[in-house]
């Protein structure tokens, strides 16, 4: 269940399930019961306030209200908009809540921000994932009042005010204690700031068959081992069969970044790793390296001589490389052959004024670009404030012809073929000097073992996050490669590995 859907894809899944003979009201009943189950973890007698909107999200809320009332909870329901404006399944769900009440106002109150207080738990059933405009007026006042109440909020599908595709806040958004979503998570559950607003997400099976996905064909996934398999060394193998990665070092004052990348490549499973070092930094790099080999390489011509050895099957450039014409020449040499290439940091910034030259040199080769948001904006000329991180990363992958990994707490990896993955396991303490250099090395080490670029980038991002979690608060970049043996040991014991 790694698929992450847009609101439009989810609506299509609903439509196809209904067309296949599952009544829409049955789907709504199942959704409402799932919400009621989440709320029912609060003690019996807890006062429940359901804030319902004018669409199907509100219909789910009416079902939850009825089920909770049947279980003995005191329930109030507020509706944004007139009761008579409800249509279809939402109207049926509202009628099942109202029952024989006379007048209807005895069972449904007009939604008023001033009347939010007094509940022990609030069910946010205003808008869900389908919202496509900024909230304003009474809806915004309701959201702000719910947040100000400090009452635990259970969001139906997605917190109201969060864009289901991008995770963006649409003017104002509910901050939920948890969210209950249906069939599959939405992109807005995983992208920031939606992930923060959603809280823990419960995924409920409401009866939509998984077979509908074959017709909807989502292309975006939550990153995890189900998407890729880590290469497992063969019993009869040897180090040369596991690939030979080259990491290009910068000058004397900036060797640490390349050494971090080189050690990470080795820990990720590359059979051999060579640090290509300028002569001025050779002694420093050699003294600080044990299993990583060091070769003297000054400039593009000497790198080309080194790379004439076809056994060197992946090159990583960028960490501590330096910015300018010399860096551009080194990148061009690395891209001249058929080997895999990982470009980060200075290697990307060096092409900020000539991105088309870089993209032309990539020309379908197995390349991964790993920019942070500033480097991404410089290279792809997109603004720093990104509203739909998936869409903009997919556009960058298509424009460059490379796999693009846009770093951040919600790292997005996109392939030129349209596939994308969102990473969600990275802890905040990964935001430390050298962390990105380790990520570059992890990807290079996996590509040395012939993992395809998209899968290697996804696996590298996930391993990076797991290493950060294992090291814990206070980690420094040097800690990350040392956590990999335990993480890989766990992966090798699972079925998602490749011989």
Q: Any idea what the Cα angle at residue 116 is, between residues 143 and 88, rounded to 5°?
A: 70
CA-to-CA distance for 271 and 499, rounded, in angstroms? 15
pTM of the model: 0.95
**What pLDDT does 427 receive?**
97
Q: How does residue 288 score in pLDDT terms, banded at 50, 70 and 90?
A: confident
Say which residue, 179 or 497, is predicted with more confidence. Answer: 179
Say how many CA atoms lie within 13 Å of 144 toward its Cβ: 12
Q: How does residue 100 score in pLDDT terms, banded at 50, 70 and 90?
A: low
Q: Is 356 helix (H, G, I), strand (E, B) or coil?
A: helix
Give the model confidence (pLDDT) of 407-438 as tens digits. 999 999 999 999 999 999 999 999 999 999 99
Give which of 296, 300, 305, 293 is closest to 317, Cα–Cα. 300
Beta bridge partners of 403: 368
**Do the domains 225-498 and 7-218 match in fold?**
no
Give the model confidence (pLDDT) of 36-55 as tens digits. 999 999 999 999 999 999 99
CA-to-CA distance for 123 and 201, rounded, in angstroms? 14
* CATH topology for the 7-218 domain: Rossmann fold (3.40.50)
CA-to-CA distance for 403 and 368, rounded, in angstroms? 5
Q: Is 323 helix (H, G, I), strand (E, B) or coil?
A: coil
**What pLDDT does 333 receive?**
98
Q: Where are the domains of the chain?
A: 7-218, 225-498
pLDDT beyond 60 at 356: yes
* CATH topology for the 225-498 domain: 3.40.1190
**Full DSSP string of 121-168:** EEEEES-GGG--S---HHHHHHHHHHHHTT--EEEESS-TTB-TTT--
Q: Are strands 293-296 and 497-498 parallel, antiparallel or unpaired?
A: unpaired
């Amino acid at each position: 269940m790694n698929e992450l859907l847009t609101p439009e894809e989810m609506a299509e899944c609903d439509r196809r399930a209904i067309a296949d003979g599952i009544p829409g009201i049955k789907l709504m009943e199942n959704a409402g019961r799932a919400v009621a189950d989440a709320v029912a973890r609060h003690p019996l007698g807890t006062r429940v306030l359901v804030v319902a909107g004018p669409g199907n999200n509100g219909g789910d809320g009416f079902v939850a209200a009825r089920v909770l009332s049947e279980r003995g909870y005191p329930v109030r329901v507020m509706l944004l908009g007139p009761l008579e404006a409800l249509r279809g399944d939402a109207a049926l769900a509202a009628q099942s809540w109202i029952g024989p009440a006379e007048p209807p106002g005895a069972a449904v109150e007009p939604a008023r921000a001033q009347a939010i207080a007094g509940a022990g738990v609030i069910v946010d059933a205003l808008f869900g994932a389908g919202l496509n405009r900024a909230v304003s007026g009474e809806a915004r006042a309701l959201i702000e009042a719910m947040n100000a109440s400090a009452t635990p909020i259970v969001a139906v599908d997605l917190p109201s005010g969060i864009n289901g595709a991008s995770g963006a806040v649409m003017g104002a958004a509910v901050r939920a204690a948890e969210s209950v979503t249906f069939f599959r998570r939405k992109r807005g559950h995983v992208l920031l700031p939606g992930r923060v607003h959603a809280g823990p997400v419960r995924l409920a099976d409401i009866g939509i068959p998984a077979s509908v996905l074959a017709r909807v064909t989502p292309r975006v996934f939550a990153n995890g081992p189900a998407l890729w398999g880590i290469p497992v060394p063969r019993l009869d193998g040897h180090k040369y069969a596991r690939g030979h990665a080259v990491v290009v070092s910068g000058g004397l004052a900036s060797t640490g970044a390349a050494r971090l990348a080189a050690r990470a490549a080795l820990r990720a499973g590359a059979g051999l790793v060579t640090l290509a070092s300028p002569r001025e930094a050779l002694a420093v790099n050699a003294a600080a390296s044990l299993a990583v080999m060091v070769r003297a390489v000054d400039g593009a011509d000497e790198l080309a001589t080194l790379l004439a050895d076809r056994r060197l099957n992946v090159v990583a450039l960028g960490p501590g490389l330096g910015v300018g014409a010399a860096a551009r020449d080194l990148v061009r040499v690395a891209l001249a052959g058929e080997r895999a290439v990982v470009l980060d940091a200075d290697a990307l910034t060096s092409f900020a004024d000539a991105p088309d030259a870089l993209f032309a040199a990539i020309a379908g080769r197995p390349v991964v670009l790993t920019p942070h948001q500033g480097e991404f904006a410089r290279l792809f000329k997109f603004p720093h404030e990104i509203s739909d991180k998936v869409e903009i990363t997919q556009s960058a992958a298509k424009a460059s012809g490379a796999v693009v990994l846009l770093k951040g707490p919600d790292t997005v990896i996109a392939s030129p073929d349209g596939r994308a993955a969102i990473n969600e396991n990275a802890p905040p303490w990964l935001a430390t000097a050298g962390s990105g250099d380790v990520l570059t090395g992890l990807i290079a080490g996996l590509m040395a073992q012939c993992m395809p670029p998209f899968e290697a980038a996804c696996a590298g991002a996930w391993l990076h996050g797991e290493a950060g979690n294992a090291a814990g608060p206070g980690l420094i970049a040097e800690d990350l490669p040392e956590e990999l043996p335990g993480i890989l040991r766990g992966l090798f014991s699972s079925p998602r590995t490749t011989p």
